[in-house]
Amino acid sequence: MFSEGQITFAILFIIGFSILLAIAYKKDYKLHQQYYKGSIWVLLAFICFIGLIAAIKYYFI
């Protein structure tokens, strides 16, 4: 379905993108700790809310 060149490009792109993403995250790590402190609770609340909606849906259907 894909040519050998397309597969090679996709693999190299994924590797390169992952490396750049890791470098950018490492560079901004201190700012993330300062500005996004406590954001894990927002994530957990969102996941619980989605779980509650799914539970209600399956309970009433």
- pLDDT single digits (tens) 25-45: 999 998 888 888 889 999 999
Written as six digits, the tokens of 52 are: 């509650």
Half-sphere exposure of 38 (CA within 13 A, CB side): 1
The predicted model scores a pTM of 0.55
Alpha-carbon dihedral 13, 18, 20, 24, rounded to 10 degrees: 150
Q: Which of 12-16, 34-38, 55-59 has the highest mean pLDDT?
A: 12-16
